[in-house]
Amino acid sequence: MLVEGRDKFQKDPVANLIDLENREVSVAALHDRDLYELEMEKIFAKGWLMLGHDSEIPNVGDYVVRLMGEDQVIVARHSDNTVHVSLNVCPHRAMHICISDSGNARAHKCIYHGWAFRPDGSFIGAPIEKEQMHGTIKPKSELGLKKARCQVYGGLIFATWGGEEAMTLEEWMGDMKFYYDMLFKRTDRGLEVLGPPQRLTIDANWKTAGEQSACDGFHTLTLHQSLLDRGAMVGEAGTEHEKAPAMYGVNLSANGHSLRCIPADTSWSLMAKNPQKDLTDEQRLELMPPPGITKELLPQVKKNLTPEQLHVFAKAPPVVGGMFPNVNMLFIFSPFPDGTLGSALVLHTINPKGPDHFEWVTFFFGEKDASPEYKDMMRQAAAQGTGTSGVIEQDDSDTWPHMSESSRGVIGRTETLKYQAILGENRPADWPNKAKVYAGFSKDDCQWEWWVQYHKMMTA
Amino acid sequence: MSITKPTPSRAGPNAVEVMYGSPVYSQVMQFLNKEARLLDHRELRAWSSMLATDLVYTAPVRSTRRVEGFHEEFGSIGHFDDDYNSIMSRIDRLVGTASAWSEDPPSRTRRFVTNVTVHETETPDEYAISSYLLLTRNRADAKDYKQLSAERLDRLRWTGGRFLLFRREILVDQVVLGMPNLAVFL
């Protein structure tokens, strides 16, 4: 049997599950409880996790409660305006300090025995100060909430339990930061959430959605066939795109993170039905600004990005992708039924809830400086295409539970996930020398890199 | 696409309640029962004929809030955030293609509609309706059901001898939905 006791995993957690030479992963990796607990320790308690956005907590005292693995954390804005991430567990009797999803509090007071904490997690005191109900053994400075290391990047709030000795968020992102900057740091005031996130439960192992986020372009042809059938995705007639629209592009990967860039020409034939050739980067951006960007915002984009980044935007903007281990993102054009072209900026987090379940959280974004009407459009485009009822993603959410169910069969779990369609690194001459670049028909390269990062963290 | 300010879905505090058992109340009940039956039997095109072309169809996300923050329970993002065109587009995908996998094979659903109250509005021939919905959804060989309960706030308009739905706001009771998608209508 592939899966044995936990001691065995501790020594060599994934040797029996990941075949590095043949690029296969045992289906048993989607099932085992001991392996899952190790993932929580080695990945979710070590890596940088995306928790939300600073526009969710604009005022001092604002907070939201989020998940890091199965640990609830309080993400709060302190009186000095800094963002802090603290474990939502009272150091006194392990009661949750915050019992609502969001709110505003200058002091978080535990409803059980009244221990109180500031938004930065520090301990204020227990009731009846003169009786010293926090005891005399430990000083107040040691009785604060457990703190995660927190960093805000492009408004996105990240945290890690890895402490000061862990790598920085920039090191964690590696070369992908160059491309993420194009999405999160392209305008003067950046993005904002368009409301609190959608949340739902999917009866599948978190890795089913995790690995798909790493540029699984292939599944669009079949799983999302209905979009092709209905003309929401079409390829230019008489070209290689005719039968396989949006399959040729540039996939990018570093440290398990990835993005998939779709040539603007494809988007034009798809949306404008008017392919334009031989244009400068400037003309291309003017004709079709990237998803979420209006003509009015283009000057900001040009100011904030380098010519190399602008060239990527003009040639093939990043459209979908993820951040290891549990972020999935879409920066997409989205045609409305009336023929107008919308766009949606969507981030998902995949929050493990035991080996057989995860919580799928969906954030919708818009540029802060976009008009209210444009944000309304983006909110509707995002809800109609992605998330709970989205016509794209409702088919994905139907697929992942099948994979987990397969892993429950003693024979099913001896099967493997195969990542053997290899394109190989292949950087076009005019593409920046950043990250691993796979130009061509979307294959398994980036998803395999996701598992390589998984293997690295599980064996570290 | 056009952005229209949706009609407030809940009846105002001074709205006159329509008597239980009155002709209008009976017509509303007939409408609600009929659409539940059509949706449960996957007759989506027939259901669409009960929708007005100015339909606004939303299901705002919900958050757990302390009582003092209760008024902020519902957010500006929706599980649904639709209009007539987008609903028709969803129906076309579900019944007009052979690849809408989230509902192929289809769920077996029952929509139980109860606790119906009907109020008059400031516009003659338009009524504000609150109903409770319990949806049971069974799929493939699952032995149990995914369930969803909600209050629905509807506006119906009497047009040409029949009611049409032009506003529906679905207030789902779950903060974290127990089903993996809403590929079904509520």
ipTM of the complex: 0.94
Instruction: Check which CATH number belongs to the domain holding A259 and give it.
Output: 3.90.380.10
Measured CA to CA, the distance from residue A223 to residue A246 in angstroms comes to: 14
Total Cβ atoms within 10 A of residue B40 = 17
Is residue A169 within 8 Å of residue A175, measured between CB atoms?
no
Q: Is residue A428 part of a domain?
A: yes
* A212 and A137 housed in the same domain: no
Q: For residue B165, which of B76, B74, B38 has the smallest C-alpha distance?
A: B38
Give the tokens for residue A19. Answer: 């075949």
Q: Are A160 and A48 in contact (CB under 8 A)?
A: yes
Residue A222's pLDDT band (cuts 50, 70, 90): confident
Residue A125, SS3 per DSSP: strand
Residues of chain A with C-beta less than 8 angstroms from the C-beta of B89: 230, 337, 384, 391
Q: Give the tokens for residue B152.
A: 């629905």
Contact B180 A195 (CB under 8 A): no
CATH number at residue A58: 2.102.10.10
pLDDT of A8 strictly over 80 = no
Same domain for A145 and A274?
Answer: no
Name the residue among A400, A449, A442 with its Cα closest to residue A457.
Answer: A449
Contact B97 A379 (CB under 8 A): no
Whether residues A250 and A324 share a domain: the answer is: yes
For chain A, how many structural domains are there in total?
Answer: 2
Note whether residue A8 is domain-resident: no
Distance of alpha carbon A73 from the chain centroid: 18
Task: Check pLDDT > 80 for residue A239.
Answer: no
Of B58, B61, B11, nearest to A195 by C-alpha is B61
Query: Which residue, A116, A133, A165, sits at the end of a domain?
Result: A165
- Domain check: are A253 and A341 in the same one? yes
Per-residue tokens: A330: 């879409």
SS3 A54: helix
Half-sphere exposure of A153 (CA within 13 A, CB side): 20
| Site of tokens 């309706």 | B129
Structural domain boundaries enclosing A258: 177-459
CA–CA dist B159, B53 (Å, integer)? 12
At A423-432, the pLDDT tens digits run: 999 999 999 9
pLDDT higher than 80, residue A13: no
The answer to whether the CB atoms of B180 and A395 lie below 8 A apart is no
The beta-carbon neighbor of B77 closest among A195, A200, A203 is: A195
Contact call for B1 and A230, based on CB within 8 A:
no
The answer to whether residue A351 sits within a structural domain is yes
Q: Please count the residue pairs, one from chain A and one from chain B, whose beta carbons lie less than 8 angstroms apart.
A: 144
pLDDT of residue A242: 65
Q: Note whether A157 and A191 are same-domain residues.
A: no
Is A195 within 8 Å of B179 when comparing Cβ atoms?
Answer: no
Q: Helices A372-385 and B84-96 sit at what angle, rounded to 10 degrees?
A: 20
The answer to whether residue A241 scores a pLDDT higher than 70 is: no
pLDDT for res A36:
96
Residue A237 has a pLDDT of 64
CA angle A174, A176, A182 (to 5 degrees): 135
> Alpha-carbon torsion A159, A164, A167, A171, what sign?
positive
Query: How does residue A1 score in pLDDT terms, banded at 50, 70 and 90?
Result: very low
Instruction: Judge contact between A229 and A291, C-beta under 8 A.
Output: no
Question: Do both A183 and A153 map to the same domain?
Answer: no
A373 touches chain B (CB under 8 A): yes
pLDDT at res. A203: 96
Name the least confident of A19-33, A83-97, A258-272: A258-272
Q: Is residue A128 part of a domain?
A: yes
Look at residue A265 in the predicted model and tell me its pLDDT.
75
Tell me if A171 is assigned to some domain: no
CB A183 within 8 A of CB A194: no
Write out the H or E segment, with its range, that includes residue A288. Answer: none
Task: Give yes or no for residue A438 having a pLDDT over 70.
Answer: yes
Give the whole-number percent of chain A exceeding pLDDT 90.
78
Closest CA to A205 of A30, A17, A325, A351: A30
Which DSSP symbol is given to B59? Answer: E
Q: Are A271 and A144 in the same domain?
A: no
Per-residue pLDDT of chain B (186 residues; tens, 9 = 90+): 444 556 667 888 889 999 999 999 999 999 999 999 999 999 999 999 999 999 999 999 999 999 888 888 999 999 999 999 999 999 999 998 888 889 999 999 999 999 999 999 999 999 999 999 999 999 998 999 999 999 999 999 999 899 999 999 999 999 999 999 999 999
Per-residue pLDDT tens over the stretch A194-219: 999 999 999 999 999 999 999 888 88
Q: Would you state the pLDDT for residue A337?
A: 80
The pLDDT of residue B13 is 86
Distance CA A101, CA A336 (A): 33
Closest chain B residue by Cα to residue A225: B99
Give the pLDDT mean for A345-372.
97
Instruction: List the structure tokens of A31.
Output: 């099932």
Domain boundary (A165, A192, A220) is at A165
Q: Which structure tokens are listed for A287? A: 């004709």
- A38 found inside a domain: no
Query: Closest-CA residue in chain A for B177?
Result: A200
Closest residue on chain B to A339 (Cα): B1
**Minimum mean pLDDT range among A159-173, A175-189, A234-248:** A234-248
Residues whose CB falls within 8 Å of the CB of residue A123, separated by 6 or more in sequence, listed in order? A91, A115, A116, A117, A134, A140, A141, A143, A144, A145
Of A127-136, A238-247, A290-299, B71-80, the poorest mean pLDDT is in: A238-247
- Domain-ending residue, one of A165, A189, A206: A165
B78 and A CB contact within 8 Å: yes
Q: Which domains does chain B have, with CATH numbers?
A: 23-172 (3.10.450.50)
Does the beta-carbon distance from B76 to A340 stay under 8 Å?
A: no
The two structure tokens encoding residue A310:
């602008």
For residues A100 and A156, state if they share a domain: yes
Burial track B47-82 (b if 16+ CB lie within 10 A, e otherwise): bbebbbeebbbbbbbbbebeeeeeeebbbebbbbbb
Residue A29 belongs to a domain: no
Cβ atoms of A233 and A246 within 8 Å: the answer is: yes
Q: Dump pLDDT digits (tens) for A327-354.
A: 999 999 888 887 788 899 999 999 999 9
Distance from C-alpha of B41 to C-alpha of A224, rounded to nearest angstrom: 25
Domain-embedded: residue A67:
yes
> Looking at the structure, do residues A264 and A373 belong to the same domain, yes or no?
yes
Q: Do A194 and A138 reside in the same domain of the chain?
A: no
User: Domain check: are A200 and A264 in the same one?
Assistant: yes
d(CA A420, CA B174): 41
Three-state DSSP at A36 gives: helix
Q: What is the pLDDT of residue B2?
A: 47
Is residue A308 located within the same domain as residue A219? Answer: yes
Confirm or reject contact between A103 and chain B (CB < 8 A): yes
Residue A429 CA, distance from chain mean position = 29
